[in-house]
Chains A and B, each alone.
Chain A
Amino acid sequence: DIVMTQSPDSLSVSLGERATINCRSSQGLLHRSNNKNYLAWYQQKPGQPPKLLFYWATSRKSGVSDRFSGSGSGSDFTLTISDLRAEDVAVYYCQQYKTISWTFGQGTKVELK
Chain B
Amino acid sequence: QVTLRESGPALVKPTQTLTLTCTFSGFSLTTRGMCVAWIRQSPGKALEWLAHIDWNDDKEYSTSLKTRLTISKDTSKNQVVLRMTKMDPVDTATYYCARVGVEAHGYYAGLDYWGQGSLVTVSS
| Chain B, Cβ-Cβ closest to A41 | B110
Given contacts A49-B96, A49-B116, contact A59 B109 (CB under 8 A): yes
* Structural contact, A100 and B60, CB atoms closer than 8 A: yes
In whole Å, how far is B114's beta carbon from the nearest beta carbon of chain A?
A: 4
> Can you list 20 A-B pairs, Cβ within 8 angstroms, ordered by A?
A34-B105, A36-B107, A38-B108, A40-B110, A49-B98, A49-B114, A49-B117, A50-B47, A50-B96, A50-B111, A52-B112, A55-B103, A61-B101, A93-B46, A97-B100, A101-B60, A101-B62, A102-B49, A104-B46, A104-B49
Number of interface residues of A (CB under 8 A): 29
* Structural contact, B112 and A61, CB atoms closer than 8 A: yes
Number of interface residues of B (CB under 8 A): 27
From B47, B105, B117, contact of A95 by CB (8 A): B47
From A34, A56, A93, contact of B47 by CB (8 A): A93
Binary per-residue interface labels of chain B (27-71) against chain A in the complex, 1 for a CB within 8 Å, 0 otherwise: 000000000010100000011110010000000111100000000
Q: Does B115 contact A (CB under 8 A)?
A: yes
**Which of A's residues lie within 8 Å of B, judged by CB?**
1, 31, 33-34, 36, 38, 40, 42, 44, 49-52, 54-56, 59, 61, 93, 95, 97, 100-107
In whole Å, how far is A48's beta carbon from the nearest beta carbon of chain B?
A: 8
In whole Å, how far is B51's beta carbon from the nearest beta carbon of chain A?
A: 10
In whole Å, how far is A81's beta carbon from the nearest beta carbon of chain B?
A: 18
In whole Å, how far is A32's beta carbon from the nearest beta carbon of chain B?
A: 12
> For A49, what are the chain B residues with a Cβ–Cβ distance below 8 Å?
96, 98, 114-117
Give the 6 A-B residue pairs with the shortest CB-CB distance, closest first: A55-B110, A40-B110, A49-B114, A55-B109, A102-B49, A104-B47
